[in-house]
Structure 1
Amino acid sequence: MVWLDYPKAAVMPRILRRSLCRTLLRERVFGGNKERPADWFRSDHPAWSAWSQHATRRSEIERRTRDPRFAPLHVIRFDSPRQADTWFRAL
């Protein structure tokens, strides 16, 4: 399993840029839906959920990687985009 365990400072600009582009360009997302400016104020918007749930999700994944049920998984954890890119280019 490859775990991209990036800090919030790396994740948030990507999410904000992606959502802003989808909103401004009216790009289709899941099920043909489109992001609207009003969606940015909803608690389930990707930007809000990424911001508020980052630490919780990180802790949950960390806990699961130590769970004996998942012991057969080999976990490769990267804490920066540069680390992941270096690894990927070496493949």
Structure 2
Amino acid sequence: MLSARDPLPSAPERVLVCGVTGAGKSTLAARLGTLWDLPYTDFDGLFHGTGWTERPTFETDARALAAGDRWVTEWGYWNKGMGPVMGERAQLLVWLDLPRHIALSRLIRRTVRRSIRREELWNGNVEPPLRTFFTAPEDSIIRWEMKTHDSWRIRMADVEQVYPHLSVVRLRRPREVRAWLKGPAAAVA
């Protein structure tokens, strides 16, 4: 496993970014797309259809993305079978293993901002009203983060065994993300 200081073995062409909800996966994936001139696909945009339903073409679209030669995206939807589909094709995994207080505070700020501004996310969907945190707790993205925060730490031992071809960069603090982008990531651009 590589740290924020370790050089990358090569310029990657298929990149996954993983971490808990609110860690900054989409932001980092988009930055890497720009830095490395890789097409960025928002994986949530592939999944979420109108009314927060699963798009009927999700699996087909995800498999087509994975089959491509060059891409960067978030690694998600393991419960939908996309873990292996993406992991088998990726060359690099950037793991945002941020502490709960950082991920959760980012998520809360983002959720409040999106809810107040009624920002469109994917296919016409917007964050639900803030009151749903209390009235529909099972649907709260904030509660989801609290429930799943350690999921990647648990999953990572298997990831390293199942995908030995995958170079993994583990970034534990925002300052490590910034240092990695300016150092090893920039060096292969």
TM over 0.5: yes
TM-score, normalised relative to structure 2: 0.44
Asked if the contact 2:160/2:166 (under 8 Å) is kept, the reply is: no
Structure 1 range deviating more: 50-59 or 31-40: 31-40
TM-score, normalised relative to structure 1: 0.85
Residue aligned with 1:72, SS: coil
Deviation readout 1:45-81 (Å, 9 max, x if unpaired): 2211011110133311x223332x3001111101111
Structure 1 range deviating more: 39-48 or 70-79: 39-48
1:82 corresponds to which residue? Answer: 175
Q: 2:160 aligned with 1:63, yes or no?
A: no
Q: How many residues align structurally? A: 89
Structure 1: 4+ residue segments shifted above 6 A: none
Equivalent pairs: percent with the same residue? 27
1:18 corresponds to which residue? Answer: 110
1:35 corresponds to which residue? Answer: 127
More helix by share: 1
Residue aligned with 1:34, SS: coil
Deviation at 1:35, TM superposition (A): 1.7
Deviation at 1:14, TM superposition (A): 0.6
CA-based RMSD of the aligned residues comes to: 1.5
Asked if the contact 1:8/1:54 (under 8 Å) is kept, the reply is: yes
Whole-Å Cα distance in 1 between the matches of residues 107 and 138 of structure 2?
15
Structure number with higher relative contact order (C-alpha < 8 Å, ≥ 6 residues apart): 1
| Structure 1: unaligned runs, 5 residues or longer | none
